[in-house]
Amino acid sequence: MLRFDVLLYVENVSVPKKMRGRTPRWLWVGAGSGALLALAALSAALAWTSIFDSALANQLALTPNSRSFRTWVAPSVPLYFDIYFFNWTNSEKFPEEKPNLVQLGPYRFLEKRKHVNVTWHDNNGTVAYRTQRSWYFDESSSNGTLQDNITTLNGIAASAVYRSRFWGFLQQKGLAMGLAMFNQKIAVSKLARELLFEGYDDQLLNLAKSLPSSTTGGAPPVDKFGWFYERNNSLDTDGYMEVTTGRAAGTIPGQIMRWNYEDHIPYYEGECAQLAGSAGEFMPRNLTEESLLPMFVPDLCRTVYMEYVDTGEQDGLTFNKYALTQRSFDNSSSSPSNTCFCNGECAWSGVMNVSACRFGSPAFMTLPHFLHGDPQLRELVTGMQPDPDAHSFYFAVEPKLGVPLDVAARFQLNLYLEPSENIGLYEDVPRMLFPIFWVEQRVKVEDDVIAELRLVRAIFDWGGTVCACAALVFAILVTMATCWARKPHTIKKESLFEKPKDEAELKLNPI
């Protein structure tokens, strides 16, 4: 019987070939999660504009509890309403001498505005309301007082003569007698407060109210005359408005759908009767240099369209500037599409005829000092000095967000004069537009709003880039993890067998 004692000492034995190790499960889970995150980040980067637009639309939509609604229903931004009168210094020499007009003002009023009688119409995605405005005279910021005496055109007599232009001979002679009986003159001198909100009594107005409407054509429903009489705190100044809430896909909040319960403008026909735009509180988003900015102006009873004129920067935000230009006021000969606004009387270029919605008064609107108007308008009076910087009507809007940063709303009221052979007071007057006053409302967003807008704009500008970078980082990490998992590994062992503390011993005993 043979006994073999084999003593074997094994030192650092290497596997003669490469052996593949098993990849940990956590590595595969991490790689898969990273791949999903990379795909999600890449998708977000590619669709960032759509994602941002959708989120912005939800934020701006008008809902009963939205921040947008709270800001809209009772604006906290200070609003100032400036009025500039034209004082007629040579009225006693008219019509031999053309009117010499001297600008007075501004008479500044603090305006507080709120939307009341708010009614939600969920069935068609609109909200109805009325606007209540309150004005408070700010004497410290004004250049003049409400006790200033101002000489201007007699608006009551001018309106009566204008309404009589289609009357018969006997009716016109009757009006001529009434003007003489009540000692009506071409001009009147009144206090600023009387011409504005307080109003003043007039016998001719009282007579018109006492006569049948078939005789007068319908007198205005007021007992005094003032350019803003009964407007303070009134719910009827702007009328009933129904606008979109912006909750429906593809819609913008604040776009007018109904005005005074009508879905069209009853004073005009054709395209001019269409309601379009907002009341200036909500603007379209994603504006370009080719965009037209529509705005519905209740005082004009129509929509006006602003055109792109410039690009600028305010407090780090780039804006597009849209303004009423010469084309906005072209007459029918220059812009045939404006013919339906004329009400049969297309006059000078640069003029808007709003007589139809002002009880038939000869009210014509222009930009201050006849800016962008026919040169003949300025030749018939002295004192007009148009300045684009001081007299233009514009909105400076952040184009992506559609948020107005700086607004200057300016209009001038003029009364139309023309000779009337049967009315002695107006027998020799020239055909002209007589400037009465012009108004200005400036609004600039506050610093905290600017800071918030900068942040929102930065999110839009860089959000897609951040998502793309995140997708790239995740993709790199996934690639590195995958490569490491697939790499062959060399396995080294101290021994293929269990090694004792001092040596490995193998004993083979034959059976």
The answer to whether residue 506 is domain-embedded is: no
Q: How confident is the model at residue 459 (pLDDT cuts 50, 70, 90)?
A: low
Q: Give the residue with greater pLDDT, 374 vs 5.
A: 374
Q: Which of 5-14, 26-35, 160-169, 404-413 has the highest mean pLDDT?
A: 404-413
* Mean pLDDT value across residues 89-103: 97
Residue 285's pLDDT is 86
The answer to whether residue 234 is domain-embedded is: yes
Domain count, the chain: 1
State the angle between helix axes of 155-163 and 169-181 in degrees (0 to 180), rounded to the nearest 10. Answer: 170
Q: Give the residue with greater pLDDT, 344 vs 257.
A: 257
The answer to whether residue 295 is domain-embedded is: yes
How many whole angstroms separate alpha carbon 234 and alpha carbon 231?
Answer: 5
Map tokens 């049967």 to a residue.
422
How many whole angstroms separate alpha carbon 81 and alpha carbon 136?
Answer: 10
Query: Tens digit of pLDDT for each residue in 186-221?
Result: 999 999 999 999 999 998 888 877 766 655 566 677
Tell me the pLDDT of the chain averaged across its residues: 82
Residue 375's pLDDT is 94
The strand pairing partners of 200, in sequence order, are: 225
Q: With a threshold of 0.85, does the pTM exceed it? A: no
Instruction: Dump strand ranges (E) for 47-125.
Output: 79-88, 101-121
| Of the candidates 109, 110, 134, 114, the residue with the CA atom closest to the CA atom of residue 231 | 134
Q: How many CB atoms lie within 10 A of CB 305?
A: 15
Residue 169's pLDDT is 92
Map tokens 């990849």 to a residue.
23
* Mean pLDDT value across residues 324-337: 75
Q: Is the pLDDT of residue 420 over 80?
A: yes
The answer to whether residue 271 is domain-embedded is: yes
46-60, 107-121, 122-136: the lowest-pLDDT one: 46-60
Q: Which residues contact 208 (CB under 8 A, 6 or more apart)?
A: 160, 216, 219
The answer to whether residue 153 is domain-embedded is: yes
Residue 233's pLDDT is 94
Query: Tens digit of pLDDT for each residue in 241-284?
Result: 999 999 887 788 999 999 999 999 998 888 889 999 998 889 99
Residue 297's pLDDT is 94
Task: Name the burial class of residue 38, with classes exposed (0-12), middle (13-18) and buried (19+) by CB atoms within 10 angstroms of its CB.
Answer: buried
How many whole angstroms separate alpha carbon 301 and alpha carbon 260?
Answer: 11
Residue 57's pLDDT is 73
Residue 35's pLDDT is 54
Q: Is the pLDDT of residue 14 over 50?
A: no
Per-residue three-class SS string for 318-373: EEEEEECCHHHHCCCCCCHHHHHHCCCCCCCCCCEECHHHCCCCCEEEECHHHCCC
Residue 83's pLDDT is 98
Q: How many CB atoms lie within 10 A of CB 209?
A: 14
The answer to whether residue 489 is domain-embedded is: no
The strand pairing partners of 215, in sequence order, are: none
The answer to whether residue 21 is domain-embedded is: no
The answer to whether residue 199 is domain-embedded is: yes
How many whole angstroms separate alpha carbon 27 and alpha carbon 367?
Answer: 72
Residue 217's pLDDT is 60
Residue 59's pLDDT is 80
Q: Give the residue with greater pLDDT, 370 vs 14.
A: 370
The strand pairing partners of 488, in sequence order, are: none
Q: How confident is the model at residue 142 (pLDDT cuts 50, 70, 90)?
A: very high
| Of the candidates 113, 119, 195, the residue with the CA atom closest to the CA atom of residue 154 | 195
Q: Give the residue with greater pLDDT, 264 vs 47.
A: 264
Residue 386's pLDDT is 97
Residue 464's pLDDT is 52
Query: Tens digit of pLDDT for each residue in 462-492?
Result: 455 655 565 556 556 556 656 655 555 555 5
> Cα 258 from chain centroid?
18
Note down the domain range covering 173: 78-445
Q: Is the pLDDT of residue 5 over 80?
A: no
CA torsion, ordered 330, 334, 336, 339, to nearest 10 deg: 40
* Mean pLDDT value across residues 95-110: 97
In the chain, % of residues over pLDDT 90:
53
The angle at the Cα of 397, spanning 142 to 114, to the nearest 5 degrees, equals 55
